[in-house]
């Protein structure tokens, strides 16, 4: 659906129709805000099952939009961000999903359409880094928060959609408890250009590369990680049994003041990890299937996100 309004700055809102029940109400709110802040009546572009956001992001760029927003879950946000990479066009995040990972890390409203759109129209521009990942021989993809394999990916892959609708992010607790029982794997890591692992194999339950440090439910996984620090943070979790997981969870809960030897952390720009067996992978909370190899890199400052004004 596309609408035409008065002459002004152009805005496109890319939305996931499966996440939105009251589109007409939002259209009215967006038209009012656009008039208040000097924008034309927004163009509304739905994602589809075949193209969940990337093509729509390119379409909005080609139309000459001055501001492009993604409204939906983490998958919609990630794919539109990938389309906007390097364009310099401001990106508005209207978080309407379960995890809302990027919004949590940038302190943006969660499931509040009007406040999120107001910030997108009036906020400050903040360039952030994009993580890049290649699973096996697949094409390059971007990630905004985290790419990983193992327990975290098993959790995402095994969380039921109906449970997420009923319980929100708490649904991940149930599947995460089951994922903790899965068997580990070995990850041989080449850290590339920074000091770190020497290529030896690590026993692991999870191997994660983070662009940001805050996860679902406000869990601070990597306190030092910032989305604009020009580096990625790598974690290897290798707990054994309930007590091992207890130590890791205590480490996370205390922001690493109670360090666990079952949790290793280092920073990097580039890294390659090879696994001794197929392991479930995930991108910003979306399962990608089983993989044997994961290569990561960073594209610093390549996405301009609208955030709340710094008063």
Distance CA 82, CA 102 (A): 13
DSSP state of 122: H
143-202 pLDDT, tens digit each: 999 999 998 777 765 665 554 454 454 444 544 554 455 678 999 998 765 555 556 678
59-118 pLDDT, tens digit each: 999 999 999 999 999 999 999 999 999 999 999 999 998 889 999 999 999 999 999 999
What percentage of the chain reaches a pLDDT higher than 90? 63
Contact assessment for residue 275 and residue 293, using Cβ atoms and an 8 Å cutoff? yes
- Is a pLDDT exceeding 70 seen at residue 119? yes
Give residue 197's pLDDT.
56
Give residue 239's pLDDT.
67
Give residue 265's pLDDT.
86
Give residue 1's pLDDT.
47
- Is a pLDDT exceeding 60 seen at residue 26? yes
Give residue 185's pLDDT.
92
Length of the chain: 311
Distance CA 228, CA 298 (A): 11
Tokens of 287: 């399962």
Give residue 258's pLDDT.
56
- CA atoms within 13 A of residue 264's CA, in its CB half-sphere: 13
Distance CA 177, CA 172 (A): 8
Q: Look up tokens 């379409």; give the residue.
A: 59
Give residue 238's pLDDT.
82
Q: How far is CA 23 from CA 20, 44, 71, 108, in A?
A: 6, 10, 11, 21
Instruction: Kindly state the helix (H) or strand (E) to which residue 117 belongs, with its residue range.
Output: helix 113-122
Instruction: Kindly state the helix (H) or strand (E) to which residue 31 belongs, with its residue range.
Output: helix 23-36
Contact assessment for residue 308 and residue 122, using Cβ atoms and an 8 Å cutoff? no
DSSP state of 18: G
The strand pair at 198-204 and 263-268 is best described as: unpaired
Confidence band, pLDDT 50/70/90 cuts, at residue 292 = very high
Model pTM score: 0.86
- Is a pLDDT exceeding 60 seen at residue 6? no
- Residue ranges and CATH numbers for the domains of the chain are 11-122 (3.40.50.10330), 131-301 (2.60.200.40)
Tokens of 208: 């994660």
Radius of gyration of the chain (CA): 20
Distance CA 280, CA 269 (A): 23
- Is a pLDDT exceeding 80 seen at residue 234? yes
Confidence band, pLDDT 50/70/90 cuts, at residue 22 = very high
Give residue 98's pLDDT.
84
Confidence band, pLDDT 50/70/90 cuts, at residue 2 = very low
Distance CA 151, CA 157 (A): 10
Looking at every residue in the chain, the average pLDDT score rounds to: 85
The predicted model gives 200-207 an average pLDDT of 83
């Amino acid at each position: 659906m596309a609408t035409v309004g008065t002459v002004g700055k152009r805005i496109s809102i890319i939305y996931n129709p499966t996440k939105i029940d009251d589109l007409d109400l939002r259209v009215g709110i967006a038209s009012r805000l656009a008039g208040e802040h000097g924008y034309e009546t927004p163009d509304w572009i739905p994602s589809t099952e075949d193209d969940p956001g990337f093509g729509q992001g390119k379409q909005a760029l080609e139309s000459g939009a001055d501001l492009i927003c993604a409204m939906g879950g983490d998958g919609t946000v990630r794919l539109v961000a990938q389309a906007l990479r390097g364009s310099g066009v401001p990106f508005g995040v209207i978080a309407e999903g379960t995890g809302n990972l990027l919004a949590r890390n940038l302190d943006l409203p969660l499931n509040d359409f009007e406040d999120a759109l107001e910030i997108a129209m009036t906020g400050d521009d903040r360039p952030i880094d994009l993580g890049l990942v290649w699973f096996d021989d697949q094409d390059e993809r971007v990630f905004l928060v985290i790419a990983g394999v193992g327990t975290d990916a098993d959790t995402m892959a095994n969380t039921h959609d109906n449970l997420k609708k009923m319980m929100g992010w708490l649904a991940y607790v149930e599947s995460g408890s089951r994922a903790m029982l899965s068997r580990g794997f070995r990850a041989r890591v080449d850290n590339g250009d920074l000091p770190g692992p020497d290529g030896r194999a690590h026993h692991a339950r999870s191997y994660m590369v983070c662009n940001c440090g805050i996860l679902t439910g406000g869990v601070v996984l990597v306190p030092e990680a910032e989305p604009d620090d020009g580096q990625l943070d790598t974690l290897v979790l290798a707990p054994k049994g309930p007590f091992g997981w207890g130590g890791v969870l205590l480490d996370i809960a205390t922001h690493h003041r109670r360090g666990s030897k079952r949790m290793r952390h280092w920073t990097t720009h580039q890294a390659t990890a090879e696994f001794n067996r197929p392991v479930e992978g995930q991108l910003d909370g979306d399962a990608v299937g089983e993989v044997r190899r994961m290569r990561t890199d960073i594209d610093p400052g390549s996405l301009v996100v609208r955030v709340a004004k710094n008063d």
